[in-house]
Amino acid sequence: MFLQQLINGITIGSTYALVAIGYSMVFGVLELINFANGSVYMLGGYLTLMLYTGLVGSFGLSFGLGLLLTALVGYTIDRFGLRRLREKKVPKIAGLITTLGFSQIIENAVRIFFGSETKPYPNMLDFGQVTFGNVTITSSQVIILMISILLMLLTSVTVYRTKMGKAMLAVSQSQEASQLMGINVNGIISLTFMISSILAAIAGTLVGMYYQNIDASMGASVGMKALASAVLGGVGVLPGAMVGGVLMGIFETLGASYISSGYRDAISFAILIIVILFKPSGLFGRKQINKV
Amino acid sequence: MRKQKHRVVAMILAMILLAGCGVSGDETTAPAGSTGEAASAEGTGEITKYTLAASVPLTGNMMQYGTSYKNAIEMAVADFNAAGGLNGQDVKFEVYDDKGDQKEGINVANMIISNEDVFAVIGSYGSSVSMAAAPVYQEGAVPMLSPNTSHPDYPGMGSMMVPLACKSEVIFGSIAEMLYEQFGACNMAVIYQNTDVGITTLEAVQERFESLGGTICAAETFVPNQTKDFTPLLSKIKGTNPDILFIVAEYSDGASIVLQSKQLGMEDVQLVGVGNVFKQEFLDLAGTNADGMLLMGIARIYTDEVMANNDFGEYTADIVERYNATYAADGGVEFDNFAALAYDGAMLAMHAAAEVGTDNPEVLAEEIRKMDIPLCAGDAWFDANGDLQREVFTFTVENGEFVYLPEE
Amino acid sequence: MALLRLEHIVVNYGSIKALKDISFTVEEGEIVTLIGSNGAGKSTTMRAITGLKELAGGKIFYQEQDISKWSTRKKVENGIVLSPEGRQIFPRFSVLENLRMGGYLRTKAQCEETLEVVHQLFPILKERENQPAGTLSGGEQQMLAVGRAMMGGPKLLLLDEPSLGLAPLVVKDIFSLIQKIRDLGTTVLLVEQNARSALKISDRAYVLETGKIVLSGTAEELLRSDQVQKAYLGM
């Protein structure tokens, strides 16, 4: 059972990682936790499903459109919610509450427009499964893991090797200095939001397919877990978010198997607390070099 | 600086005001009056109140159930008024959103009992909220009909309480017996949600099944709607070699459990589901994975196929048809057992009011308990112990469709 | 035509009038200094010129074009680059990455060319190329800030308090480097509290007090002025 649950944990953990990356990136550039990221994850899954069953016949097209729309939502949160607050230089907490507000709006809008009942989700990744002794690995698991790894690589390459990515890193260190370099700081921030939204939307769709259903409340709990993953790995550090996500998935699944299912969430968060007690900046977090 | 502080204070005040306005009924309610006075010992047959209230979750996780309740009660009130109403006057229906939350349920209850025109209340969805609000209705002397509260402590909370669902030990004891008769003294694993309903169900089933000679080989709990991943629990359960897997869950969790049990290779285990899986939405999610599953309970299934192949009586069939035509046309949720119970509850309250008047809540509640009218949710009666008894129905799934198994 | 001309600039921070009425010019090839005590408005002026702070009134002209509403990006594109007060280097980037950031808007070829020049002016930056900038000493960070600003290929280089917090020997180096930069063809507008060293290398200077220009003239004139000597040169 251990191996089986390890595999389950890694699979679900890699989807947490995708959402955690979003938290990390936004925190990196804005020093702000985007509480709406969880609901964007849920929205992404919903949009793909509703487009597929309602309008467009092709899943690929629906998926693409869904991602586009979700990126638009991410852009909106920043452009119309947070940017004005930045311009007026209000304390950070206003931004935090704004993202909380957006998460409520998104969640309830989904309930109103799509209904609050759980909906079946087609599993486009179902190509069978292989069994080795006690362990069954499904095609969905393999594909999800591969897609997640691919996305994590893409994100890393984008952030660490492209000019745009360097600009993001610059903005995360000093918005003002970045502006002085001629970087369009607001543009970079919007881009960050869009990237994190797309990652979340992909994760939401993958998870919908994995469990073959979707409901409006799935954003809230995954949002919390992904945030915890980002903190576990060290907020603002991309590889940390990825590792944190996978670890969270593993802790949760193993905890549920061996300790208690009722406490599965509590176990993950307990581990998070223990790690933070000993290393407050997270597993990969850096000690703050004071900005000069 | 001062300007800023003033603005902040103003904002906070505005937010408090808005929060206060958040809980509201569909129509404006009368301002607070005194709670119902203890009336005279006998009913005078006088009808002085005309409002039937409902406390249901119209927003939040449970909103689909609340909507079913609301629609059903609305239809019942319309039907009742069309047939003459209360002494020629229309019954008014006021629905309140309790958000599926205990605190909100209590808020709503306070608002309802302070409305002097309310003669009865239907609500809420689920034992937790209903039992939180019950003391308020008892104190306010408003008869409370609760469609799906099966917690054993509920009826004892007062003379105003009229459960429309049986206590867990009553239903599930019967179900455990029926399973014993069919499968003998075998291994039964129970996977149940960590709520009042889930826990009392487990206790009732375990007690009866074990006393008959069966074995509960595993009992695993989960928090409903918190996770979609039941593989850790199911792996554990699989290891205990169960013959029967008894599932106590809402339909979405139930579907996930059914699906994942198949994925883990538990094809030979007899699945049994109770309660809230009696919905088309369950089949939508579980599909043919649920084939062969037994669904047992006091809830009936009203899908088109079942209605076409079985005769539940004219009264019921007519209600199902008209409800679906009105409320399920644009993708709304079809008639199900929640709607049936809510419809019955409303009719019981209104007919009783017509019979004995609204000025004596005790007498009114008594009259309701006589259950003297046709019921679309199936037969129900209060036995000598004062416990509600209902018919138990058994359904199964064939080719992804519900099939009714009448008692032989 | 003056390279830079400020006409009656007004800048407010909320209800505080930081700049009440500032007008001055900078000719091409000059080193012009703004001196004044803390809070006089020197940094605010620099921030207004680069677009970090919006104008509440007045206009700024660059090569006779009205740039009052230009974005910082546009200004950098056109050759106005600021090395800010407090240096504001990117602490987690290496020295080299910091420098490359300076050349964000330019082509690779242009960057390589300027990098050569910067390395010649500040050899220590080549030495410590791969070190995280946050670990450099104060003086090294200042050089990095100036070098990074130069990577933007400025026609007009704005330097805000380049000597702040530096050891006297380092201060000497910085100021001689500023002269070298000017000799290479870049006009320099300098803001400094260290009035003496600044005036020594400048062509002209302006004295700011509480948001207004109270004195202007050639550097020699100001060095010799009684007013300036008493107020800013500690005599």
The per-residue pLDDT for range A132-178, each reduced to its tens digit, is 877 788 888 999 999 999 999 999 999 999 999 999 999 999 999 99
Per-residue confidence band for B243, with pLDDT thresholds at 50, 70 and 90: very high
Contact status of A138 with chain B (Cβ, < 8 Å): yes
pLDDT (tens digit, 9 = 90+) per residue, C93-119? Answer: 999 999 999 999 999 999 999 999 999
B301 exposed, middle or buried (CB, 10 Å; 0-12, 13-18, 19+)? buried
Specify the pLDDT at position B174: 84
What is the average pLDDT across B306-313? 86
Give how far Cα A190 sits from Cα of A37, A99, A160, B205, B396, Å: 14, 14, 18, 56, 53
* CA-based nearest distance A187→chain C, Å: 12
Instruction: Please say if the pLDDT value at position B329 is more than 50.
Output: yes
Strand ranges in chain C using DSSP code E only, listed in sequence order? 4-13, 16-26, 31-35, 57-62, 65-66, 80-83, 156-160, 187-192, 204-209, 212-218
Instruction: Please say if the pLDDT value at position A10 is more than 80.
Output: yes
Q: Which two tokens stand for residue A247?
A: 């670890």
Which residue out of C44, C47, C72, C93 would a mutagenesis test of the A interface target, given it has the greatest number of A Cβ atoms within 10 Å? C72
Identify which of A1, A217, A262 has the shortest CB distance to residue B61. Answer: A217
Q: What is the DSSP string of B159-185?
A: TTEEESS--HHHHHHHHHHHHHHHH-S
Per-residue confidence band for B150, with pLDDT thresholds at 50, 70 and 90: confident
Chain-chain contact of A181 with C77 (C-beta, under 8 angstroms): no
**What residues does C191 pair with on adjacent strands?**
C34, C160
Give how far Cα C24 sits from Cα of C8, C213, C216, Å: 9, 8, 9
Q: Mean pLDDT of all residues in chain A? A: 89
Per-residue confidence band for B23, with pLDDT thresholds at 50, 70 and 90: very low
- Report long-range pairs for C5-9 (Cβ below 8 Å, ≥24 apart): C5/C60, C5/C61, C5/C62, C5/C64, C6/C45, C6/C49, C6/C58, C6/C59, C6/C60, C6/C61, C7/C58, C7/C59, C7/C60, C7/C61, C8/C57, C8/C58, C8/C59, C9/C45, C9/C48, C9/C55, C9/C57, C9/C58, C9/C59, C9/C60
Domain ranges of chain A: 22-216
Distance CA B170, CA B390 (A): 9
Which residue out of A3, A212, A250, A253 would a mutagenesis test of the B interface target, given it has the greatest number of B Cβ atoms within 10 Å? A212
Subunits next to C (3 or more Cβ pairs <8 Å) are: A
What is the average pLDDT across B88-116? 94
User: What ipTM was assigned to the predicted interfaces of this complex?
Assistant: 0.91
Q: How many Cβ atoms from other residues are within 10 Å of residue A56's Cβ?
A: 17
Chain-chain contact of A118 with B223 (C-beta, under 8 angstroms): no
C35, amino acid identity: I
| Residue numbers in A near C73 (CB within 8 A) | 179, 182-184
Choose between A252 and A292: higher pLDDT: A252
Instruction: Please say if the pLDDT value at position A30 is more than 80.
Output: yes
Spell out a b/e string for A35-46, using b for 16 or more CB atoms within 10 Å of the CB, else e: bbbbbbbbbbbb
Specify the pLDDT at position A257: 80
Distance between alpha carbon A247 and the CA centroid of its chain, in Å?
14
What is the average pLDDT across C131-137? 92
Instruction: Please say if the pLDDT value at position C87 is more than 50.
Output: yes
Can you give the length of chain B in residues?
408
Choose between A118 and B131: higher pLDDT: B131
Instruction: Please say if the pLDDT value at position C50 is more than 70.
Output: yes
| Cβ within 8 Å of residue A126, ≥6 positions away | A138, A139, A140
Distance CA C2, CA A11 (A): 65
| Residue numbers in B near A115 (CB within 8 A) | 64, 331
C195, amino acid identity: A
Question: What is the CB-side half-sphere exposure of residue B336 using CA atoms within 13 A?
Answer: 23
Contact status of B304 with chain A (Cβ, < 8 Å): no
Per-residue confidence band for C69, with pLDDT thresholds at 50, 70 and 90: very high
Give me the architecture of the B9-165+320-379 domain, per CATH: 3-Layer(aba) Sandwich (3.40)
| Residue numbers in A near B236 (CB within 8 A) | 1, 257
CATH topology of domain B169-297: Rossmann fold (3.40.50)
Spell out a b/e string for B32-67, using b for 16 or more CB atoms within 10 Å of the CB, else e: eeeebeebeeebeeebebbbbbbbbbbbbbbbbbbb
| Cβ within 8 Å of residue C108, ≥6 positions away | none
Contact status of B135 with chain A (Cβ, < 8 Å): no
| Cβ within 8 Å of residue A194, ≥6 positions away | A71, A74, A75
Give Rg (Cα) of chain A: 19
Specify the pLDDT at position B274: 87
Q: How many Cβ atoms from other residues are within 10 Å of residue B330's Cβ?
A: 5
Give how far Cα A107 sits from Cα of A41, A216, A268, B60, B366, Å: 10, 6, 24, 10, 43
Q: How many Cβ atoms from other residues are within 10 Å of residue A58's Cβ?
A: 11
pLDDT (tens digit, 9 = 90+) per residue, B333-345? Answer: 889 889 999 999 9
Chain-chain contact of A180 with C141 (C-beta, under 8 angstroms): no
Give how far Cα B335 sits from Cα of A235, B62, B79, B198, Å: 49, 16, 16, 24
A193, amino acid identity: F
How many Cβ pairs within 8 Å bridge chains A and C?
Answer: 74
Per-residue confidence band for B40, with pLDDT thresholds at 50, 70 and 90: very low
Distance CA C31, CA A197 (A): 49
Contact A14, A144 (CB under 8 A): yes
The angle, 0 to 180 degrees and rounded to 10, between the axes of the packed helices A163-173 and A185-211 is 110
Query: Of all residues in chain A, what percent carry a pLDDT higher than 70?
Result: 97
Specify the pLDDT at position B21: 45
Q: Which two tokens stand for residue A288?
A: 């703050």
Closest CA to A188 of A162, A202, A169, A173: A169
- Report long-range pairs for B374-377 (Cβ below 8 Å, ≥24 apart): B374/B313, B374/B315, B375/B344, B375/B347, B375/B348, B376/B312, B376/B315, B376/B316, B376/B319, B376/B320, B376/B340, B376/B343, B376/B344, B377/B164, B377/B299, B377/B300, B377/B337, B377/B340, B377/B341, B377/B343, B377/B344
* CA-based nearest distance A283→chain C, Å: 18
Contact B337, B301 (CB under 8 A): yes
Q: Which two tokens stand for residue C127?
A: 């030495």
| Residue numbers in C near A29 (CB within 8 A) | none
Choose between B123 and C205: higher pLDDT: C205
Specify the pLDDT at position B37: 41
Contact status of B221 with chain A (Cβ, < 8 Å): yes
Looking only at the bridges linking them, the beta strands covering B270-274 and B294-297 are parallel
Specify the pLDDT at position C78: 95
Choose between A236 and B68: higher pLDDT: B68
Cα dihedral B303→B306→B310→B313 (10° resolution): -10
Identify which of C81, C84, C101 has the shortest CB distance to residue A170. Answer: C101
Query: Of all residues in chain A, what percent carry a pLDDT higher than 90?
Result: 55
Contact status of B263 with chain A (Cβ, < 8 Å): yes
Look at A171-175, B1-5, B19-23 and tell me which has the smallest mean pLDDT. Answer: B19-23
Subunits next to A (3 or more Cβ pairs <8 Å) are: B, C
Instruction: Please say if the pLDDT value at position B36 is more than 50.
Output: no
Instruction: Please say if the pLDDT value at position A112 is more than 60.
Output: yes
Choose between C164 and C201: higher pLDDT: C201
Distance CA B30, CA B111 (A): 9
Specify the pLDDT at position B38: 42
* CA-based nearest distance A149→chain C, Å: 26
Look at A224-233, B168-177, B239-248, C192-201 and tell me which has the smallest mean pLDDT. Answer: B168-177
Which phi and psi (to 5°) does residue A98 adopt? -60, -45
Specify the pLDDT at position B7: 60
Instruction: Please say if the pLDDT value at position B402 is more than 70.
Output: yes
Three-class SS of residue C190? strand
Distance CA A207, CA A214 (A): 8
Per-residue confidence band for A128, with pLDDT thresholds at 50, 70 and 90: confident
Contact A284, A240 (CB under 8 A): yes
Identify which of A4, A213, A253 has the shortest CB distance to residue B252. Answer: A213
Distance CA B174, CA B212 (A): 12
Q: Which two tokens stand for residue C141?
A: 């960070």
Per-residue confidence band for B30, with pLDDT thresholds at 50, 70 and 90: very low
Do domains B9-165+320-379 and B169-297 share one topology? The answer is yes
Q: Which two tokens stand for residue B176?
A: 């455990």
| Residue numbers in B near A139 (CB within 8 A) | none
* CA-based nearest distance A174→chain C, Å: 7
What is the average pLDDT across B62-81? 93
Distance CA C216, CA B251 (A): 82
Closest CA to B263 of B231, B306, B290: B231
For A171, nearest residue in chain C (alpha carbons): C90
Cα dihedral A224→A225→A229→A231 (10° resolution): 30
Per-residue confidence band for A125, with pLDDT thresholds at 50, 70 and 90: confident
Distance CA A105, CA C188 (A): 52
Instruction: Please say if the pLDDT value at position A289 is more than 50.
Output: no
Specify the pLDDT at position B303: 84
* CA-based nearest distance C224→chain A, Å: 36
Distance between alpha carbon B387 and the CA centroid of its chain, in Å?
17
Specify the pLDDT at position B69: 95
Closest CA to B63 of A216, A212, A103: A216
Look at B146-150, C63-67, C75-79 and tell me which has the smallest mean pLDDT. Answer: B146-150
Look at A63-67, A211-215, C60-64, C227-231 and tell me which has the smallest mean pLDDT. Answer: C227-231
Instruction: Please say if the pLDDT value at position B5 is more than 60.
Output: no
Identify which of C102, C104, C149 has the shortest CB distance to residue A167. Answer: C104
Identify which of A116, A138, A217 has the shortest CB distance to residue B64. Answer: A116
For C86, nearest residue in chain A (alpha carbons): A292
Q: What is the DSSP string of C119-144?
A: HHH-HHHHHTTTSBGGGS-HHHHHHH
For A123, nearest residue in chain B (alpha carbons): B285
Q: Mean pLDDT of all residues in chain B? A: 85
Distance CA A259, CA B236 (A): 11
Contact A112, A44 (CB under 8 A): no
Domain ranges of chain B: 9-165+320-379, 169-297
Specify the pLDDT at position A237: 84
Distance CA B340, CA B302 (A): 9
Contact B230, B260 (CB under 8 A): yes
For A163, nearest residue in chain C (alpha carbons): C104
Choose between A261 and B176: higher pLDDT: B176
Distance CA A192, CA A189 (A): 5
